[in-house]
Amino acid sequence: MLVVVAAFRGYAIVASDGRMGTVSDCLYDDRSWKIRWLVVDTGSWLTGRKVLVHPSAVAKPDYEHHELAVALTRAQVEESPDIRSDQPVSRKAELNLKDYYGWDPLWGGGDYFGGGFGIGAGGIGKPLSTPSFFAAASHDTDEVEASLADNEADPHLRSTTEIIGYHVHATDGSIGHMENLLIDDTSWSIRYFILDTKNWWIGRHVLISPYAVTKTSWEDHDIQLNVTREKVKSSPAWDPLAMVDQVYEKELHHYYNWPGYGFH
């Protein structure tokens, strides 16, 4: 099911032996557009510590009770490698955390939709990166070893909270701003951006796939797309009050010629 990522903020993280805290943010890889970590606020339980939970540990979300059950115990989390809330999380620290829990170190890395529609990357542009405070696993052994030695953070790990509000530009002008993200609650992939176009097309919201991104400027807080304003305006209408079903997704992907659903 597709859900807005902002809905998860405040959800309780429930271990097998009790609550651990609440979700304060979701961190994604800006190359794969996949959620790689849930940031958990543990309140007074583990004061001064940042707790990261891997999406692979999460069971099916309980939307009725606003809870995410995880295959962990409070004792496991308490004994996990320490990641302080006031310091950057290095690649070494992240890999140590994945090793401690036995999580796949390459989960969420690589190309866009690596675990989404089951297709390869389709010409998506590489975002402009600035130093970030989280880290990723790498497919390059030499790069990993160098990063472990230097305790480098990965510039590709980004906050979903941070990107909300970014300005979005078509090839011929602004079309609005990022209002939210739609993610798949099974693969934890970011499937679409929800764009508010009120400053250009009053009363409208549109869905845009990350496939359309050509550049992201973290310094300027804006995103460039490879579509025109007219293309967006003529796109299949989307009702924010209706669920996004497969019929609509197929229509949208065919219209923009985005990969997905077995075609290119």
**Mean pLDDT, 10 residues at a time, over the chain (264 residues)?**
94 95 92 92 87 92 96 94 69 84 73 41 30 33 46 79 95 95 94 92 92 94 96 93 90 92 47
Q: What is the pLDDT of residue 219?
A: 92
Q: What is the pLDDT of residue 84?
A: 65
What is the SS3 assignment for 65?
coil
Residue 223 contacts residue 234 (beta carbons within 8 Å) = no
pTM metric for this prediction: 0.81
Locus of tokens 């402009």: 128
Helices 141-150 and 91-101: angle between axes, nearest 10 degrees: 110
Q: What is the pLDDT of residue 127?
A: 31
Percent composition of the chain: helix, strand, coil (DSSP 3-state, to 5): 20, 30, 50
Q: What's the length of the chain?
A: 264
| Complete domains list, the chain, with CATH | 162-256 (2.30.30.240)
Q: What is the pLDDT of residue 128?
A: 28
How many angstroms separate the CA atoms of 196 and 102, rounded? Answer: 40
How many angstroms separate the CA atoms of 128 and 218, rounded? Answer: 7
Q: Which two tokens stand for residue 179?
A: 């209002």
